[in-house]
Amino acid sequence: MKYDYLVVGSGLFGAVFAQQAKERGKSVLVIDKRPNIAGNVYTEKIEGINVHKYGAHIFHTNNKRVWDYVTKFAEFNRFTNSPVANFKGELYSMPFNMYTFNKMWGVVTPDEAKAKIDEQRAEIKGEPKNLEEQAISLVGRDIYEKLIKGYTEKQWGRDCKDLPAFIIKRLPVRLTYDNNYFNALYQGIPMGGYTKMVGNMLDGIEVRLGVDYLENKDEFDKLADKVLYTGAIDAYFGYSLGNLEYRSVRFENEVLDTPNFQGNAAVNYTDRETPWTRIIEHKWFEFGKDEEGNDLEKTVISREYSSEWKPGDEPYYPVNDEKNGALYEQYKKLSENEKNVIFGGRLGEYKYYDMDAVIASALDMCEKELG
């Protein structure tokens, strides 16, 4: 039979689109080259712990429409992200707030902290031109040197002077004692894991795993009237204009015979020398308990290493600088000629989307496409 839609990729964008299309009575086939659904939000149970196999995903949003949507498919726990930054054994609270300023400078009141930041940000004149200037103008040089520079340069493999300012604007700066990493009205982790949530979204939809669309594109295209493609846009076009740059991430996962390795879900290593950017201890996303509420005896940790993407690696982060932005625009023009193909998601749109933004964008797309 011929489907109305072929959805390439079962990550959040693909799953939302497939779910919405089915709800509107369309026939849908979802394919994914991985052996599992859920793209980079995929979680796998190891020792009773939902391990975030493609990096930590903490759901947070201010968008009620998105929250109402996701909570149809999962119940969320009350996890609040508050990473700890480890700079050569000195520990600082994240994001940048009164606890951080107190530890850094011994200041106690918001006025004292503000005075310190104002004194240090004075070195930046005019509009910040890059991530380094933006960071110093937000929190001053001391914090930039200890908590931002090393981490950012490891994560992006580029000098902070060569990175766009918007990346650091993702982080709140607060003159209150509040370690909540996000300014979000709604936040949490889907109980039972993201894979279960995406499985619920795809309930009743045909899914074929372990199949590579681009390897057999012509055959797959015959299966449906239209295609939603959520893979990398440059890969779709065979890298004909050259490849877009991505950062990739490698995880070293370890099961440890101890109940508590680091006392927090995320510890960022913000010095330049430690080769990993952060260590995730997955059990703390669910308060160290299994589904029955029992304490877990073991723990699973993941050391995260960033690297430049090369063919064969998984692309994770688009490098949204000017050069890549210009190349993306060229690919986007090409994509507009593909009348029966819709491009969407972090890789399809080459955009550093958070999960909630991907869902919002997918829901918008559904309205446009499906009515």
Q: Whole-number minimum distance, CB 330 to ligand UDP, in Å?
A: 26
Checking DSSP bridges between strand 246-256 and strand 43-46, what pairing results, if any?
A: unpaired
Question: What DSSP designation does 265 have?
Answer: S
Residue 2 interacts with ligand UDP (CB under 6 A): yes or no: no
Minimum distance, C-beta of residue 214 to ligand UDP, in the bound complex (Å): 26
Pick from 138, 105, 114, 90: which is nearest to 270 by CA?
A: 90
Q: Which is nearer to ligand UDP, 189 or 228 (CB)?
A: 189
Between the CA of residue 156 and those of 147, 199, 275, 316, what are the distances in Å? 15, 32, 13, 11
Contact 158, 164 (CB under 8 A): no
With binding defined as CB under 6 A, does residue 235 bind ligand UDP? no
- Diameter of the chain by CA atoms? 69
Catalytic residue among 5, 174, 186, 194: 174
Residues 6+ apart with CB under 8 A from 124: 133, 136, 137
d(CA 39, CA 19): 15
Can you tell me which residue has the tokens 């149970």?
Answer: 45
Distance CA 16, CA 52 (A): 20
Residue 316 beta carbon to ligand UDP: minimum distance, rounded to whole angstroms: 8
Is the Cβ of residue 8 or residue 167 nearer to ligand UDP in the bound state? 167
Q: Which is nearer to ligand UDP, 22 or 121 (CB)?
A: 121
Given the rule CB under 6 A, which of 114-122, 144-152, 254-262, 331-339 is the region that contacts ligand UDP?
144-152
* Minimum distance, C-beta of residue 285 to ligand UDP, in the bound complex (Å): 14
Per-position x/- string for 250-269, each x denoting binding to ligand UDP as judged by CB under 6 A, each - no binding: ------------------x-
State both tokens at 151.
């981490």
CB contact set of 83 (below 8 Å; sequence gap of 6+):
94, 181, 264, 265, 266, 267, 268, 278
Binding segment for ligand UDP among 148-156, 250-258, 319-327, 341-349 (CB under 6 A)?
148-156
- Determine if 152 is a binding residue for ligand UDP (CB under 6 A): yes
Q: 32, 132, 286, 304: which one is catalytic? A: 304
Neighbouring CB atoms inside 10 A of 273's CB total 8
- Residue among 164 and 192 whose Cβ is closer to ligand UDP: 164
Q: Has 121 been annotated as catalytic?
A: no
29 binds ligand UDP (CB under 6 A): no
User: Residue 168 Cβ, how far from ligand UDP at the closest point, in Å?
Assistant: 5
Cis ω before 190 (30° cut-off from 0): no
Q: Is 23 helix (H, G, I), strand (E, B) or coil?
A: helix
- 270: contact with ligand UDP by CB under 6 A: yes
Report d(CA 284, CA 18) in Å as an integer. 31
Q: Does 148 bind ligand UDP (CB under 6 A)?
A: yes
Q: In terms of DSSP bridges, do strands 59-61 and 186-188 run parallel, antiparallel, or are they unpaired? A: antiparallel
278 belongs to the catalytic site: yes
From 170, 208, 250, 272, active-site residue? 170
Q: Is residue 319 a contact point for ligand UDP (CB under 6 A)? A: no
Among 170, 208, 323, 332, binds ligand UDP (CB under 6 A): 170
Among 85, 301, 359, 365, binds ligand UDP (CB under 6 A): 85
Dihedral sign, Cα of residue 13, residue 15, residue 19, residue 21: positive
Q: Are 157 and 308 in contact (CB under 8 A)?
A: yes
Nearest-approach distance from CB 167 to ligand UDP, in angstroms = 5
- Known catalytic membership, residue 153: no
- Binding residues for ligand UDP, rule: CB under 6 A, are 85, 94, 147-148, 151-152, 155, 167-168, 170-171, 268, 270
Q: Which residues are annotated as catalytic?
A: 170, 174, 247, 278, 304, 352, 354
